[in-house]
């Protein structure tokens, strides 16, 4: 029957999908969840062949759900869940849309679906319980919609810009301009957006200008994240029309930024526009400017310097803008590390210094307490930079020597922070450090014939010692996960590596096993000796604290017990080289033999 009446069969699946939404059935159990998921997958597959029918049906369902009148907390939750299910299904159907869709499909999408999606992005603002989730889901639909139907979405944005150029009201609706933040933008589409903005920016009211500035900034980063290769290509192949639009918009935005407050709002976009002009960027970065290009370098450099002078007086707004730009730059490194490692015309030592500065800057961001997202992105960027194929770009003229110098510095600085207990997310950093070590080993294995070149430099030995100290000292951490995630590269730690796989063990059992292994270490090293001494200093400090404030939290007491056992277990080998024994003599740990 389905073969003879495909449209009726598709409609039956759409109806079934609609009937099983939480807003229709009430609270979902496991059976109804599985059934809803099954219907969802069916529609996604059918949309590859009956795209218009499925999208039209889902759009109608979304309209009806949005118009439903509900009462009570439970009903509101079911409504929200239903909206998320529909939006997610729409996004996946649009993502699998055939590129040779009919013009009729595009017209239908613009007239029916786009207004519904805009409803979520524009209407569900702060204050609504599920605003962020609904907006994020709706923006995902808009992104997928704009992949194959960019002209239709762009037309809506362009039309609104045109309307605002002749608007005499001070209060203007900028919602459609903000759609720029969520659409799929490749190089050619970004160029169209810039060119359209250049034509209309000056005639816009201030609120519309600010909306354009903010939206273009986000559109740029969306482009970089989704098309990193295109961004890299921008610096390898000149695109005059892109640079021309960016340069002209820079001038317009610069004229707009009259006050310090406006400068704070526009300078991130101005930096972006400068980045989109590779030739000017290269000229500015040179110490000596060629005479033929001196005049052009667009007056531009003077405007750039002037527009950034507001940073001399830092305000809260400036700080927020700086953090946003810094986060965006780190995300850029994460998305496309090759761009930041591109050093045309530089000598080997200059290239190495440039890479060292970049990586050292990222390391400084890892321990930041109040900017967790920035810290996480910095770790991700450093991990991408440590991939074997990326390490080779640190300094192509001397990859092994550069690796030992820079990567050793990373280990040294991170381990120093961990030893000093200067990181609130120390367990996460340990997990990340483990991945860094794995990447290092892969690189060395790939270059095993010459892996030891330059490995005897001081920073390399210092990093080895600090790493060993760090791994030893985290063995007495009260955080079981921290102990289990240590997987070092030394022969004395191979059994600790096997202990790390005992995920089900209790804290006490784990510590007993760790201390038993520590007692089997026979040779003192710079690492285990420094670990013992640093732990002993902290043990003495904590002992005084516990004696003075015995009602401290249990976690502190557990850490003190672990440290005491650690000192006893490792004391035999570490103190064997001292003529006079020292250390705790008044406490016998419960696991001592």
- Look up residue 565 and give its two tokens: 């056992």
Whether the predicted pLDDT of 476 surpasses 70 = no
Whether the predicted pLDDT of 295 surpasses 50 = no
Tracing tokens 């816009």 back to the chain, one arrives at: 204
Tracing tokens 């330059």 back to the chain, one arrives at: 454
Residue 168 per-residue DSSP state:
-
pLDDT cut 70: percent of the chain above it: 76
Nearest C-alpha neighbor of 59 from the set 25, 22, 110: 110
User: Which pLDDT does position 588 carry in this prediction?
Assistant: 32
315 or 453: which leads in pLDDT: 453
Q: In this predicted structure, which of 324-328, 374-378, 452-456 has the lowest mean pLDDT? A: 324-328
Asked if residue 61 lies in contact with residue 86, where contact means CB atoms within 8 angstroms, the answer is yes
Whether the predicted pLDDT of 527 surpasses 80 = no
Cα separation, 311 vs 236, in Å, equals 32
Helix ranges (DSSP H) in 47-186? 51-66, 73-95, 103-108, 114-123, 131-148, 150-165
Asked if residue 473 lies in contact with residue 420, where contact means CB atoms within 8 angstroms, the answer is no
DSSP-derived secondary structure for 203-247: TS-HHHHHHHHHHHHHHHHHHHHH-HHHHHHHTTS--HHHHHHHH
Cα separation, 364 vs 374, in Å, equals 11
User: Which pLDDT does position 467 carry in this prediction?
Assistant: 86
Nearest C-alpha neighbor of 539 from the set 580, 571, 578: 571
Measure Cα distances from 113 to 57, 83, 158, 505 in Å.
10, 14, 18, 54
Give the pLDDT band (50/70/90) at residue 551. Answer: low
Asked if residue 374 lies in contact with residue 323, where contact means CB atoms within 8 angstroms, the answer is yes
Measure Cα distances from 133 to 198, 317, 351 in Å.
33, 26, 44
User: Which pLDDT does position 86 carry in this prediction?
Assistant: 94
Q: What is the mean pLDDT of residues 350-372?
A: 85
579 CB neighbour count, 10 Å cutoff? 5
User: Which pLDDT does position 498 carry in this prediction?
Assistant: 55
Give residues with Cβ within 8 angstroms of 373, minimum separation 6: 327
Nearest C-alpha neighbor of 481 from the set 510, 516, 512: 510
3-state per-residue secondary structure call for 356-383? HHHHHHHHHHCCCCCCHHHHHHHHHHHH
- Look up residue 282 and give its two tokens: 């290269």
Give residues with Cβ within 8 angstroms of 386, minimum separation 6: 407, 436, 439, 440, 443
As separate numbers, helices (DSSP H) first and strands (DSSP E) second, the chain gives 29, 0
Cα separation, 381 vs 367, in Å, equals 14
* Positive or negative torsion for Cα 142, 145, 147, 153: negative
The region that residue 314 occupies, defined by phi over 0 for left and psi between -120 and 50 for alpha, beta otherwise, is beta
590 or 412: which leads in pLDDT: 412
Give the pLDDT band (50/70/90) at residue 190. Answer: very high
Residue 353 per-residue DSSP state:
H
- Look up residue 309 and give its two tokens: 């002078």
User: Which pLDDT does position 501 carry in this prediction?
Assistant: 52
278 or 406: which leads in pLDDT: 406
Cα separation, 482 vs 429, in Å, equals 10
Cα separation, 210 vs 215, in Å, equals 8
Whether the predicted pLDDT of 407 surpasses 80 = yes
pLDDT cut 90: percent of the chain above it: 24
User: Which pLDDT does position 8 carry in this prediction?
Assistant: 86
127-164 tens-digit pLDDT:
566 777 888 899 999 999 898 888 888 988 999 999 98
Q: What is the mean pLDDT of residues 427-432?
A: 86
Please tell me which of 259-273, 417-431, 438-452 the model is most confident about, judged by mean pLDDT. 438-452
Nearest C-alpha neighbor of 46 from the set 69, 17, 22, 66: 17
Q: What is the mean pLDDT of residues 71-91?
A: 89
Q: Is 523 exposed, middle or buried (0-12, 13-18, 19+ CB in 10 A)?
A: exposed
- Look up residue 593 and give its two tokens: 């033999």
User: Which pLDDT does position 496 carry in this prediction?
Assistant: 54
Whether the predicted pLDDT of 513 surpasses 80 = no
Instruction: Report the Cα 19 to chain-centroid distance in Å.
Output: 39
Cα separation, 109 vs 123, in Å, equals 20
Cα separation, 48 vs 234, in Å, equals 34
Cα separation, 330 vs 103, in Å, equals 40
pTM value > 0.75: no
Whether the predicted pLDDT of 72 surpasses 50 = yes
User: Which pLDDT does position 234 carry in this prediction?
Assistant: 83
CA angle 285, 374, 329 (to 5 degrees): 25
Whether the predicted pLDDT of 287 surpasses 70 = no
Tracing tokens 């807003």 back to the chain, one arrives at: 23
Asked if residue 221 lies in contact with residue 276, where contact means CB atoms within 8 angstroms, the answer is no
* Residue 342, SS3 per DSSP: coil
Give residues with Cβ within 8 angstroms of 573, minimum separation 6: 521, 522, 523, 524, 528
User: Which pLDDT does position 506 carry in this prediction?
Assistant: 63
172 or 436: which leads in pLDDT: 436
Q: What is the mean pLDDT of the chain?
A: 78
Give the pLDDT band (50/70/90) at residue 281. Answer: low
């Amino acid at each position: 029957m389905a073969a003879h009446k495909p449209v009726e069969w598709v409609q039956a699946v759409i109806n079934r999908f609609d009937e099983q939404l939480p807003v229709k059935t009430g609270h979902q159990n496991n059976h109804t969840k599985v059934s809803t998921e099954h219907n969802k997958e069916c529609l996604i597959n059918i949309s590859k062949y009956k795209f218009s029918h499925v999208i039209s049906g889902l759009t109608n369902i979304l309209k009806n759900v949005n118009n439903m009148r509900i009462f009570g907390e439970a009903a509101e939750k079911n409504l929200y869940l239903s909206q998320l299910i529909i939006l997610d299904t729409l996004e996946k159907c649009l993502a699998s849309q055939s590129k040779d869709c009919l013009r009729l499909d595009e017209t239908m999408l613009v007239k029916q679906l786009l207004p519904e999606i805009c409803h979520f992005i524009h209407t569900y603002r702060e204050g609504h319980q599920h605003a962020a989730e609904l907006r994020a889901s709706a923006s995902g639909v808009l992104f997928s919609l704009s992949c194959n139907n960019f002209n239709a979405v762009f037309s809506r944005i362009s039309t609104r810009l045109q309307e605002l150029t002749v608007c005499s009201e001070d209060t203007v609706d900028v919602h459609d301009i903000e759609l720029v933040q969520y659409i799929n933008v490749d190089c050619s589409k970004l160029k169209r957006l810039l060119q359209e903005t250049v034509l209309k920016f000056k005639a816009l009211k201030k609120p519309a200008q600010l909306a354009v500035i903010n939206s273009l900034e986000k559109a740029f980063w969306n482009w970089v994240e989704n098309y990193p290769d295109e961004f890299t290509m921008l610096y390898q192949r000149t695109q005059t029309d892109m640079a021309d639009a960016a340069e002209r918009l820079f001038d317009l935005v610069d004229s707009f930024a009259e006050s310090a407050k406006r400068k704070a709002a526009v300078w991130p976009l101005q930096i972006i526009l400068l980045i989109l002009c590779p030739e000017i960027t290269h000229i500015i970065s040179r110490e000596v400017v060629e005479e033929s290009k001196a005049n052009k370098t667009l007056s531009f450099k003077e405007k750039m310097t002037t527009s950034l002078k507001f940073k001399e007086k830092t305000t809260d707004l400036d700080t927020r803008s700086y953090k946003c730009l810094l986060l965006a730059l780190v995300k850029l490194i994460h998305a496309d590390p090759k761009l930041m490692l591109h050093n045309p015309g530089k000598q080997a030592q200059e290239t190495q210094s440039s890479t060292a500065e970049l990586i050292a800057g990222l390391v400084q961001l890892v321990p930041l307490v109040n900017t967790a997202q920035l810290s996480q992105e910095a770790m991700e960027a450093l991990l991408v930079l440590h991939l074997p194929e990326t390490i080779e770009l640190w300094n192509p003229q001397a990859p092994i020597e550069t690796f030992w110098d820079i990567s050793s510095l990373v280990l040294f600085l991170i381990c120093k922070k961990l030893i000093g207990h200067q990181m609130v997310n120390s367990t996460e950093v340990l997990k990340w450090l483990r991945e860094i070590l794995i990447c290092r080993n892969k690189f060395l294995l790939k270059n095993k014939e010459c892996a030891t070149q330059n490995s005897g430099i001081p920073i390399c030995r210092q990093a080895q010692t600090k790493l060993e100290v760090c791994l030893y000292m985290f063995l007495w951490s009260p955080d079981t996960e921290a102990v289990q995630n240590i997987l070092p590269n030394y022969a004395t730690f191979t059994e600790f590596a096997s202990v790390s796989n005992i995920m089900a063990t209790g804290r006490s059992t784990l510590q007993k096993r760790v201390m038993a292994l520590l007692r089997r270490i026979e040779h003192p090293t710079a690492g285990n000796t420094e670990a013992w001494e640093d732990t002993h200093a902290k043990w003495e400090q904590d002992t005084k604290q516990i004696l003075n404030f015995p009602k401290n939290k249990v976690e502190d007491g557990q850490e003190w017990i672990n440290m005491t056992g650690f000192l006893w277990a490792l004391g035999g080998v570490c103190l064997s080289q001292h003529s006079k024994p020292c250390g705790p003599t008044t406490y016998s740990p419960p696991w001592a033999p």
